[in-house]
A and B are shown apart, each in its own frame.
Chain A
Amino acid sequence: MKLSHALFSLGCTMVLATAATAALAAEPLKVGLMEDVSGDLAVLGKPKLNGSQLAVEEINKAGGILGRQIELIHLDPQGDNARYQEFTRRLLSKDKVDVLIGGITSASREAIRPIVDRTQTPYFYTNQYEGGVCDANMISMGAVPEQQFSTLIPYMVEKFGKKVYVVAADYNFGQISAEWNRTILKDVGGTVVGEEFIPLGVSQFAQTIQNIQKAKPDWLLMLNVGAAQDSFFEQAAAAKLNLPMGSSVKVMLGFEHKRFAPPALNRMHATANWFEEIDTPAANEFKKRWHAKFPNEPYINDMGYNAYNALYMYKTMVEKAKSTKLADIRKVIAAGEACIEAAEGKVCIDPKSQHASHEMRLIAVDEKHNVKVLKDYGTIQPYWLGQIGCDLTKKNDRKQYTPSDLPKKL
C-alpha cells in the first residue's frame, strides 16, 4: 500500500514535470506594448495598437517566433508620462516581458528610456521623432530629421522662399525639431522670421495667426502636436491665411487632411516613409490586410505602420540571433543583418545608431485634400548619429544628442 502510494506520487510528479517542460518549451514570447488609446493622443495611438495586433495575429498564425507564440500585453498610459514610467516598471519586473514597444511623444519616450536602460530588454520606439537618441537598448523604427527635414526644408526654401515661421509644440519634440530647422536653414540660406512655442492643450490660435501675418513669412513649418493644437488649421483657413506649409508630423501621422473639411490642409508638404495614399503593389497588399481586420480605421498612419513593422523587425532579429537576449540581438544589428521587406520597401537597422533606413517620399496636399507624391528620394540612411560619433557597435551610449549638443570629441 505504502509502496504503491509512493509510486503513484512519483508517477504524478513525473507527469507534471514533463508537462511543465513541454509548457516551458512553448512558453509564449511576451511583448509589452504601451500605446495611448484614450486621452488627447488617442487619435494617433489607436492605429498603433491596431498595427501591433495585426502583426501579432499574422506572426502567430504563421507559427510564431522560433516556434513560440507571441503574447501581447497592452497597457494604455493615456498620454500621461508618470503612467508611462509606472507601466514600464510593471511590464519589466512583474510581467517580465521579452521586449518593450511603444510611446508616442518624445516626452513619453524619454520617460521610458532610463528605466529600460537599467535592464537587458530591447525597447522599440515606433514613431518618427526629432532624432539624436544614441541608446544601446533602443531600436528606432520611425523617420528622423536627416530623412525628413534634410529633404523637406531645402525643397520648401527653393520652391516657396527663404522666410520661415515656425509654430511648434512646447516640449522636447518641438524645441529640438525647431533647432534642426535652424541648422538646415543656415545651409540653404533661409531665415526664421518667427518662432512660436505653444503649450500642449492650447486650442485657440487667433493671436498666432495674426503674428504670422505680421511677420510675412513665405511658408510655415508646422510642428504642433495633439488634437487641441490641430485646431490651428481650421482657424487659419477661416482667416484665409493660405500660406504653404511644411511639417514632419502632419498628414501621414495625424491624417489632418481626413479629419478637417477641405481646404484647411491645402498646400501642406511633408516627407514621409509611409502614408496611406502610397500606391505600390506591396503597399496596396498591406492596406488590404489591414482594412480587412480593422474596417473602421479612418486612416493607416505612419506610426501604426511602423508599429506593425516593429514586430516583424523583432521577429527577424530574434530568428537570426536564435535568442531573445539583447546582446545577441545587437550582434545581428551590428552585422547589418536586421532588415525586413516592408510595405514601403526594404527597411534596415543602421548598426551605429540602431535607427531604421527608410524610403522617403515628398508628399503635398491639394485644396480638395488629395495627397500627391511630388518626389521620391529613394532609401535614406539614418546617417547623422553615426557621423557625429555615436557608434553602438563599439560603445554603449545612453544619450540624446542635438545639433547644439554634440558628443565631446568627433
Chain B
Amino acid sequence: MFAEIFSFFYQFADVFAFLILSAAGLAIVFGMMGVINMAHGEFIMCGAYVTVGLVHAGFPLPLAQLCGTLAAGLIGVAVEWSLVRKLYKRPLDSLLATWGLSLIVTQGMLLVFGSTLTGVGTPEGSFVVGDYTFSVYRMVLFAAAVAVLGGIYFIFMRTRFGVHARATMQNASIAQATGVRVGRVYALSFGIGAALAGLCGALYAPTMTLIPTMGAAFLVEAFVTVVVGGANVLLGTAPAGILLAVIRTGLNGWGGQIVGQIGMLLAVIVVIRILPEGVSGWLARKTR
C-alpha cells in the first residue's frame, strides 16, 4: 500500500518537476514581461549542450550544470539587448523574431555539432520501495523545481531588484520617472528567464537524448503551464504546476501516456475558458 502511494507521489513529483522547470524561465519572460519567447526551447538546449560539453571536457556534473545555466543567462542578456529590446510594445513581432532565432539556432547547432551528442549518463543511484525501483536523480529534479520556485519568490519579493522589476512590469514609464533603470531591469529579467531555461536543460541533459531540436520537447509543457498559471509568476506557476501534474499523473497511470497528454490539453482548454486570466488572476481576485 505504501509503495503504491509513494509511487503516485513519485510520478507526481516527476511530472511536476518537468512542468515547473520547463516553465520557470518562460513564466518570467512571457508571463511577466509579455515577450512571446519562441526561442525558450533553444535556451534549454543551450544549457544542456554546454553542460554535456563541459562534462566531456572533464568538469564534474554539478559545476558543468552551473556553467550551462550561466551561459544561457549571458546569451539571454545579449539576445535581450540586440533583439528583444526593440519589440516590447510589439508582442506579435517578438513572437516572429524569437521564432526566427529558434530556427536559426537549431539549424546552426545541427551544422556545427552534428545531429546528436553523446550522453553523459544519469548520476546517483536508485532506491527501492516495495516492488519498484526509483531513480534518485528524479528526486533531485523535484527538489530543484521546488528550489527554483523558492528562488523566484526570493528574488522578486525580497530584493530591491525584485521591487524594481515588479514596478517596471506594471508601469515602465512611472517606474522610470521614480528613478528605476528600466532598461537594466528588463535585461536582467530576461537574463534570469534565460538562465532558468538553461538550468532546465542542464538538469535534464543527463536523462535525455541530445539533439538540436530537444528544446521542442519542453516548449508545449512550458507554454501550457504559464498560460494556465497566468501573468503572476509567484501566484500562478506553482499552483498551475500542481494542478496539471495531478491531472496528468492520474491520467497517465489510468490510461497511459496518450490519455495523459490529451487530458492535460483538455484541462488547459477548460481552465482558460473558466479563468481567462489563469490561476493567478483568479487567486488575485479572490484575495483582493
Shortest CB–CB separation between residue A243 and chain B, in angstroms? 11
> Given A238-B138, A239-B134, A258-B118, do A210 and B207 touch, yes or no (CB 8 Å)?
no
> Given A40-B211, A213-B133, A235-B207, do A199 and B261 touch, yes or no (CB 8 Å)?
yes
Shortest CB–CB separation between residue A384 and chain B, in angstroms? 30
The answer to whether A201 and B216 have CB atoms under 8 Å apart is yes
A216 to B130, CA, bound (A): 13
Shortest CB–CB separation between residue A96 and chain B, in angstroms? 30
The answer to whether B207 and A234 have CB atoms under 8 Å apart is yes
The residue of chain A having its C-beta at the shortest distance from the C-beta of B116 within the complex is A43
B135-169 interface bits toward A, Cβ cutoff 8 Å, 1 = contact, 0 = none: 11110000000000000000000000000000000
The residue of chain B having its C-beta at the shortest distance from the C-beta of A226 within the complex is B209
A39 an interface residue at 8 Å Cβ cutoff? Answer: yes
Within 8 A of B (CB), among A280-301: 296, 298
The answer to whether B119 and A259 have CB atoms under 8 Å apart is yes
B residues neighboring A (CB under 8 Å): 7, 10-11, 14-15, 18, 106-107, 110, 114-116, 118-122, 124-126, 131-138, 206-209, 211-214, 216-217, 249, 252-253, 256-258, 260-261
A residues neighboring B (CB under 8 Å): 37-40, 42-43, 45-46, 170, 196-199, 201-204, 206-208, 210, 213-214, 216, 227-228, 230-231, 234-235, 237-241, 258-262, 264, 296, 298
The residue of chain A having its C-beta at the shortest distance from the C-beta of B251 within the complex is A207
B11 contact set on A, CB distance < 8 A: 206-207, 210
A37 to B211, CA, bound (A): 12
Task: List 5 extra interface pairs beyond A43-B116, A196-B257, A204-B14, CB under 8 A.
Answer: A170-B258, A206-B135, A228-B209, A230-B209, A234-B119
The answer to whether A260 and B211 have CB atoms under 8 Å apart is no
A231 contact set on B, CB distance < 8 A: 207-209
A168 to B132, CA, bound (A): 22
A56 to B269, CA, bound (A): 52
* CB < 8 Å neighbour of B217 from A201, A210, A258, A298: A201
* CB < 8 Å neighbour of B258 from A199, A203, A227: A199
The answer to whether B209 and A298 have CB atoms under 8 Å apart is no
Shortest CB–CB separation between residue A203 and chain B, in angstroms? 5
A38 to B213, CA, bound (A): 9
Shortest CB–CB separation between residue B208 and chain A, in angstroms? 4
A237 contact set on B, CB distance < 8 A: 121-122
* CB < 8 Å neighbour of B253 from A197, A204, A207: A207
The answer to whether B116 and A298 have CB atoms under 8 Å apart is yes
A210 contact set on B, CB distance < 8 A: 7, 10-11, 132
A214 to B110, CA, bound (A): 39
The answer to whether B115 and A234 have CB atoms under 8 Å apart is no
The answer to whether A298 and B114 have CB atoms under 8 Å apart is yes
The answer to whether A38 and B253 have CB atoms under 8 Å apart is no
The answer to whether B126 and A204 have CB atoms under 8 Å apart is no
A43 contact set on B, CB distance < 8 A: 115-116, 211
The answer to whether A261 and B119 have CB atoms under 8 Å apart is yes
- Residue of B14, B116, B122, B124 with highest tally of chain A CB at under 10 A: B116
29 contacts between A and B (CB under 8 A): A37-B110, A38-B106, A38-B110, A40-B213, A42-B115, A43-B115, A46-B114, A46-B115, A199-B258, A203-B217, A206-B11, A206-B15, A206-B138, A207-B253, A208-B257, A210-B7, A210-B10, A210-B132, A213-B132, A227-B211, A228-B214, A235-B207, A238-B122, A238-B126, A238-B137, A239-B135, A240-B133, A298-B114, A298-B116
A327 to B107, CA, bound (A): 41
The answer to whether B217 and A234 have CB atoms under 8 Å apart is no
* CB < 8 Å neighbour of A206 from B14, B118, B121, B217: B14
> Given A38-B110, A196-B256, A234-B206, do A259 and B116 touch, yes or no (CB 8 Å)?
yes
The residue of chain B having its C-beta at the shortest distance from the C-beta of A196 within the complex is B256
A204 to B40, CA, bound (A): 19
The answer to whether A241 and B133 have CB atoms under 8 Å apart is yes
Shortest CB–CB separation between residue B248 and chain A, in angstroms? 9
Shortest CB–CB separation between residue A224 and chain B, in angstroms? 11
